[in-house]
Structures are given as C-alpha cells and as structure tokens.
Structure 1
Amino acid sequence: MRTISTMCCNFHLILLIALALFLRISSQHGSKVEVLPGFEGPLPFELETGYVGLGETDDDLQVFYYFVKSENDPQKDPLMLWLTGGPGCTSFSALAFQIGPFAFKDEEYDGNLPNLISRPESWTKACSIIFVDLPFGTGFSYAKNVTAQRSDSKLVHHTHQFLRKWLIDHPEFLSNEFYMGADSYSGIPAPAIVQEISNGNEIGLQPQINLQGYLLGNPVTTRKEVNDRVQYTHGMGLISDELYASLQRNCKGEYINVDSRNKLCLRDLNYYDECISTLYLENILNRFCPEVVVTPKKHEALYRRSLTQKFNTTINSNAIVPDRRCKINFAFFLATQWANHESARKSLHIREGTISKWERCYKTDFEYQISSSFEFHVNLSAKGYRALIYSGDHDAVVPFNSTETWIRALNYSIVEDWRPWFLENYVAGYTRTYSNQMTFATVRGGAHLTSYNRPAESLAMFTRWIANVPLTEQGTIISCSRH
C-alpha cells in the first residue's frame, strides 16, 4: 500500500510535470507589442510577435512571426498567413512595405533610428494577418543547422507545421476562414503549402484549418517567365520591332535554355540584354538604381539577375545611403538600420543572442526542388478553393502576360471576360474570372511589389475579393471581350 508521503511526492511530481508542460506550451504564445521605436504614441492596431518551435528541442527550429489582428472584426474576419518571396526574404517586407499597418517615413536619413508612420491602405482593415519568417535563416527565425532546413520542400512542410502549431496557441481563430497569401518567388511554394494543408485536413490532422483559398501577387509559377518577358518588353515599346522579329525567328520562343551552337539567337539575346540592362525590371517606370543592380555575364545570368535584382546588395551600417529617389531601395536601407537597433529588437521581443545581424533577405544555400507550381493550381482548383492571381502591369520580372499564359493553360471556362475594374471612377486594372473560382486581375501601373507602389488599388482589389464580391462591384461594368 502506498504511504501518504509517497502519494504526496507523486502528486507534487505530477504538478511539476504539468507546470513544466504548461510553461513550455505558454512559451509558444506571442507577446503583445504596444509601442514601436520610431512610431509616435501607442500603436493604433494590435501587434503580437513570437516564436513557434518546430524541432524536438527548444533551440532546434524557431520560427519568428508578426501577427496583426484585423482592425475591423478579428472574431469574424478572415485569417491570412503571408509568405514573402526571395526565397529567403523576411515577411517584415510585406508588413512594413506592402500590406501592413505601418511604414517607414520617407525622409532624409540622419543616422538616427528611422521613423515609422501609419499606412491607411493596410490589408488588416479587413483581415488578420500572420507575417512569417521562413525559410529558416530568414529575418529573426533561427535554427541550429540553418543550411539543412533551406529547400522548397522544407519550406512547404515548415510553413504547414507552423500554422497548425500557431492555431493550437490561438484557438480563438480556428473558426475563421483561412487564406494563404504570397508573392514573387513564393508563387512556387505557396500553392504546395495550400495543398499540404488541404491534405492534412483530409487525413484528420488537428487542429482542422478552415481553408478557403489563396492569393498570389506577381507569382513565379513555371520558372519560364523570361520566355514571356521578350514579348512583354516589345509590347511596352522597350525593344524594336526588328529585334523582336529576329528573336522570334532565331530563338523560336526559348530564351532561357539556349543551345550554345545557336549563334544567331545568342547574338540577338546579347542585343536584347543591352537594351534592358539599364531598366529597373521590377518597375519599368522607375529610375535605374545602379548601386543595387548586378551586371549579368552575358545572357546566361539574365534570369537569375532579374528575379533577385532587389536582393543582391545587403546594406549594413557602413554602407553608403542609397539615393532617396530610389524609394524602395532607400526603404530597405531604413528597415535594415531599424531592425538592427537594440530598441527595435527589444520592442519586438527578439531573443538575445539568436540573430547577430538582421538581413532583409538571406538567399544562399537554398535548394530549389519544385520546378513548377502549375500542377498544384490544377489540384487546388479541382477541390474548389478560391484563388486570386494578380499582376502589376509594369513588372518585367514576372510579366502579366506570363501569368496569363499558364492560367490559360489550365483550360478553365471563362465566367466573366476581360473587363476593367474601377477605384473612384478610374480604371484601376483589368480582370477576368474563370470557373473553378479563380480570378485574375491586373493592377494598372503596379510594379513587382504591387501593393507597395499601388497601395489604394491593391487594398480595393483585396477587400472586394476577400469579401467574395466581384472586383467590378464598385464601378461600371464594361466588357472588352471579343464576340
């Protein structure tokens, strides 16, 4: 028979174990951020930051996130997880430059902590958003062996694992409609993530995720976007009719994997490279910023350069301040100064000693495993998930005609044909809706980071789509289709 003292010891042991488990679970919860250095006054929105551990031990794999509650009705509004492109660029980019509730103030840099201001066009007006730093090595996320965690398949699995663990810690959002959001390179892993979430739901993984769909901005999809860029640059008047005709004749539509014996095609491509070498491909209307452009070695580097152009220069405290007229590069510089400041890290509850130097993008040692996300779109559409695919029409990195090409290849019937959509009585872009609940939209004047340079139009597009109303709801419906 057990003695009372033995029973008491066992009881206390159980309590200690329960407490330890509670503390471990509690440690996963994020911390509320009420003030940010550089932002005047208390934050007018609810921001939480934190870590979610994915490994067997606390320090194995720690994913850092920023979570902003909907400024409308967080109990009922959708929940979205946002993954920035790169691969390997922190979702702080989306938070501070694209769709979040604050931005860096555009003012001369004097060496002090950069200032922050509110962004009225934040997508958190209609949705709660988790901004996640993945793959590992990105932003403030960390791991014991970072290199071993950097691949397309690991990124897909880690994002899915993160989301279910995050929802366990935030059960109040389990019933909210969930959407996956991503842009640029993340057009490759994001559809695979959505499919893995869907598959997990089907086999009964807990917690169940109320998955409704996904949205992708200027997404890399087939990795053959360069083949459509030649047509795009010709259509925009950036190369001559004669060069375009010669490229078509000599290269026959293949501008990436060119036979080294095809001298005429290589000659034309070198002419082509020279024509566009001083363009800012992410926004062909913007000034050329040579301090962040890597000169390609003839044609073989064109694709790699164009997809990574804005990420190739890492600015540190000793770097020359970018030309303020190069707005996005100047903003990236401010972010680097801010995120490496002790007061900013303290306000974000960054664990000391985990990240020595914050870099907006960490692109090395990444293993590219998914050649195309096309088949994932096919599978997800067959399951009935909603999809919004949008393109800034002044982006030459992933030109809108390239996105149109793979969408046409899905062979879905057109529900509403090509027509303008409006914001305040002007044409904000064009749209077409397909069966299988897919919508394609352009944002007029939009760049590769469409929501950065066209914030009002992007917000209007997002809020209408997330509310499941036509983009043309707010304007005169005009059909441009050919009958």
Structure 2
Amino acid sequence: MRRPLMAILLVFLLCLFNIASAAERNLVDSLPGYEGALPFRLETGYVNVDEKNGAELFYYFIESEDDPRRDPLLLWLTGGDHCTVFSGLAFEIGPVKFIREPYNGSVPRLKYNPYSWTKAANIIFVDSPVGAGFSFSQDTKGYAVGDVSSSLQLKIFLYKWFEGHPDFLANPFYVGGDSYGGKIVPYLVQKITEDIEAQVRPALNLKGYLVGNPVTGESIDTDSRVPYAHGFGIISDQLYEATLEHCKGESYSNPTNMICDQLLKRVHELLGECSKPHILYKKCFYVSPGQNDESPRRIILKKEIGGLKRPPPRPPMDCQNYVNYLSYFWANSMATRDALGIKKGSKDEWVRCHDGDLPYSKDIKSSIKYHRNVTLKGYRALVYSGDHDSVIPFLGTQAWVRSLNFPIVDEWRAWHVYGQSAGFSIVYSNNLTFATVKGGGHTAPEYQPERCLAMFKRWISNKPL
C-alpha cells in the first residue's frame, strides 16, 4: 500500500515542479514611485531557457485594460546592445512613464501613460537576449548568444510561458519589436510557423507580427541616410550628387574609394549636427562624473550615483532621453527590485543598455527573406517608421518592403487622427502594410505616442489605418 501512495506523491511533486519551472511569477499591485494601486494587472517573472547554464529571461506581463480574455496577446522585444525591454514599457508602449523632474536621490516617480498599447492588447515584455535588463545566467557561458540562439531561446520562453498561462492560448498571438528587435522578430515568427506546421503542441494562435524602425542587417538600413539627409536639407545638392557619383557600387559603411570615404565622412559630420533619433529635437550633451572635477554640477552628480558602478551620463532635463537617466536609479532601487521579484544575487547592477561588454553574434545577416517567407504564408505584417528617424531612415525600410515585389492592394495615402494626417501608408498583398508616423523618431511611439496607439489599435483590430 505504501508504494502506490509514494508513486502518487512523486507524480504530484513532479507536476508541481513542472508548473514552477515553466515560469516563476510574481503579481505586482504597486510600484515604487507610482502613487496608489496600479490601474492595470502586472505580473513579472523568470523563465529558464538554458537548463545547462542556468540562463533565465525576465519578463513583465501586462494584461489588456479592455478585455484580457479576448484581446490579442503581443510578445514585445526591443533593440540596442542587450537593452532592457523596460525601455519599451516605460518610454514607448507600456502603461507607465517617468515624471520628468530633477533626480533628488529618492526613487524616481512614475505616472500613468494614457497611450499605452495595453488599451488594445495583452503584452509580454521580455528582457532578451540573456544579460539584458534583469535576465541573467548562473554560468557565464550562458551569456554567449547571438541572433539565432537568442531567437530559439525566445521560442522556448513562449512555450514555457504558455504552459503556465494556458488561458491565453486561444488569444490571437502577435510578435512585435523595434530597432534591432525588428531584426529578430521575423526570424522568430518563421520558427513559430515551422512548429505550427509540424503540429508542435501547444499550438500557438499566431496571426502575424509588427516591426517599428526595424533593422534588417542589410546595407540599406544605413545607406539610406544619404538620400534622407539630402531630402531634409542636411546635406547640399553638390555633396549628394558627388556621393552618388563617387560611391557607386561602394559599401557606405566601409568604402575602399578614398574620394567616397571623404565624402561620406562629410555626410556623417553634417548628420552629426542633428539629433539622430529625431532630427528636429535638441542634440544633447552629457555630464559624466569626472574623477578630478569638483565643479558644483559634478559634486551633485557624484552624490546622485552613490555606490553604483556604471551610472549613465546625465543629460540636461529638457532632453528627450533624460528619462533614460531616471530609469537607472529606479531599477537599481532595492524597493523596485523587491516589488518586481528580482532574484537576490542575479544582477549586481541594472543598466538600460550594455556597450559591448557581453558576447553576441550577429549571425542573421539579413532578415528580409524571413519577412518574405512569413508573409507569403498569409500571416499579417505591419512595418512602420517614424519619418524623422535618421538612425534607420524610412527611405531604406520603404525600399526593402517594396523589394518584396508584392502587388499593391491599397495605394499610398494618408492615415488620420482627429481629421489630420498622422502619417502615410501603403498596403500590399499577403497582408503586408507599410506606414510612416508623422513626427516619429527612433522609435516612433517614444515621440508620437497618441498617433502610434491609433495606428496599433486599428491594425491589431483588422481595420484600415
């Protein structure tokens, strides 16, 4: 009699272990710096995506503020060098944002973002690749990832996440991301479609994907800066025409022609006079805590950083990215870590982005073929660009979208918010839409949140922009 009982107990414990290992989660009803209870449902947690090295991806899951059981579910990725997805949550499409005020040593304050995409969707924000944000690896070998391996880890993440959240399996599922995250998205989506075709369980209810200001890995991403700079009056006719003449057939990133090289240096010098993420915004200069400089501003800055090792340089408060600076102190607060359920000893110091200190292989040379493959299978796609972004200009994105050679279904036209043009769009066959966001930068929602929410709500609801 004892053996059957022991067997039942063992099975029960294994089930508990599998549920716990699928996704460790933590319900958050308040956040440091946010006054009162949160007006949305927030869950944070970890998913182990590399058992051998103990690599775990950290996530923020925010339920839709409308109808969580029916609204689409969106997995969101961000760009940069191991940049945290908290950038997407707090600066772009999530329901909180920082109050822009001088940092005084306390936890920076947050407020509600009325233009959050959680108005229309459930969103899983994932710190990927391993090492980004609060994601970590117990063995340092776990940090050695790249485009392909981190994408496959995201696939593992999804299956384990759905194991712990089976109620969301029926929701229409989308994958989204911007900047470098836009390079990963189509590859990840292709891998998911291959699993669907192979009848891997659980079957994800994949409907499509969206990418904003996306990197592809192709030279067009950056080569388009030359005609973009010319079109906006940043470089002269003479410099533009000379560049076209002498750089024909050359790599703009590594020219072998000396004349071309000199011309491109001049192009980049002139572009450098502007704020690259948004050419109309103020170009900001930073204050870093110098070792021997005891000016009043630097003394204040030294007090601000306390014992933290890698504080970011401080921009003027009227700069768009001053909130990036505030995020460093918010995320490194022990109150924040306790609220988010951060594992003790997993991350000594949170940084918004890394700077080449973690290994990473850019082994997807071009994502364009994955865009073609997935859209040819009938999955929906939205590619959008802020039209004032000179990092990944819309001209280059528009060109590679057009290179897919899909027939036009709806000609180039304006789309509107409150009766005014909010951007322009064109719709191709195979459910592919390209749109610009007027006044948007890198990234578009950071600079035009209201317009981007309108665009997203219409597209995710299968309505024309």
1:362 to 350, 354, 369: 354
Aligned to 2:37: 42
Aligned to 1:70: 64
In structure 1, how many angstroms separate the alpha carbons of the residues matched to 2:143 and 2:83? 17
Contact 1:99 1:451 in 2 (8 A): yes
Which deviates more from structure 2 when the two are superposed, residues 282-291 or residues 211-220? 282-291
Describe the shift of the 1:229–1:153 C-alpha distance in structure 2 as closer, same or farther (beyond 3 A): same
Q: Does 1:125 align with 2:99?
A: no
Describe the shift of the 1:110–1:320 C-alpha distance in structure 2 as closer, same or farther (beyond 3 A): farther
In structure 1, how many angstroms separate the alpha carbons of the residues matched to 2:194 and 2:63? 27
Tell me the percent identity. Answer: 44
Aligned to 2:238: 242
In structure 2, how many angstroms separate the alpha carbons of the residues matched to 1:25 and 1:362? 32
- Root-mean-square deviation (CA, aligned residues, Å) is 1.8
CA shift for structure 1 position 389 = 0.3
Q: Which runs of 5+ in 1 are unaligned?
A: 1-6, 294-314, 472-483
Contact 2:130 2:143 in 1 (8 A): no
Contact 1:70 1:126 in 2 (8 A): yes
CA shift for structure 1 position 255 = 4.5
2:210 to 207, 210, 215: 215
Aligned to 2:314: 321
Residue type at the aligned position of 2:266: Y
CA shift for structure 1 position 145 = 2.6
Q: Secondary structure at the match of 1:290?
A: coil
Q: What's the TM-score, normalizing by structure 1?
A: 0.88
In structure 2, how many angstroms separate the alpha carbons of the residues matched to 1:452 and 1:170? 30
Q: Secondary structure at the match of 2:118?
A: helix
1:341 to 333, 346, 349: 333
Report 1:25-424 matches (<5 A): 25-26=19-20, 28-56=23-51, 60-143=54-137, 144-146=139-141, 148-224=143-219, 225-252=221-248, 254-260=250-256, 262-291=257-286, 321-328=314-321, 330-364=322-356, 365-424=359-418
Residue type at the aligned position of 2:426: R
Describe the shift of the 1:413–1:56 C-alpha distance in structure 2 as closer, same or farther (beyond 3 A): same
In structure 1, how many angstroms separate the alpha carbons of the residues matched to 2:24 and 2:143? 26
Describe the shift of the 1:408–1:452 C-alpha distance in structure 2 as closer, same or farther (beyond 3 A): same
Describe the shift of the 1:425–1:442 C-alpha distance in structure 2 as closer, same or farther (beyond 3 A): same
Residue type at the aligned position of 1:241: D
In structure 2, how many angstroms separate the alpha carbons of the residues matched to 1:182 and 1:318? 26
Alignment length (residue pairs): 441
Aligned to 2:448: 454
CA shift for structure 1 position 257 = 4.8
Aligned to 2:298: none
- The superposition leaves residues 293-342 of structure 1 with CA deviations (integer Å, 9 ceiling, x where unpaired) of 9xxxxxxxxxxxxxxxxxxxxx96755532112122x1111111000000
Describe the shift of the 1:258–1:41 C-alpha distance in structure 2 as closer, same or farther (beyond 3 A): closer
Describe the shift of the 1:317–1:63 C-alpha distance in structure 2 as closer, same or farther (beyond 3 A): closer
Describe the shift of the 1:320–1:407 C-alpha distance in structure 2 as closer, same or farther (beyond 3 A): closer
Describe the shift of the 1:142–1:355 C-alpha distance in structure 2 as closer, same or farther (beyond 3 A): same
In structure 1, how many angstroms separate the alpha carbons of the residues matched to 2:50 and 2:438? 44
CA shift for structure 1 position 24 = 4.6
- The superposition leaves residues 243-265 of structure 1 with CA deviations (integer Å, 9 ceiling, x where unpaired) of 001001111163425443x2211
Contact 1:100 1:119 in 2 (8 A): yes
Residue type at the aligned position of 2:317: R
Contact 1:62 1:142 in 2 (8 A): yes
CA shift for structure 1 position 241 = 0.5
In structure 1, how many angstroms separate the alpha carbons of the residues matched to 2:240 and 2:397? 20
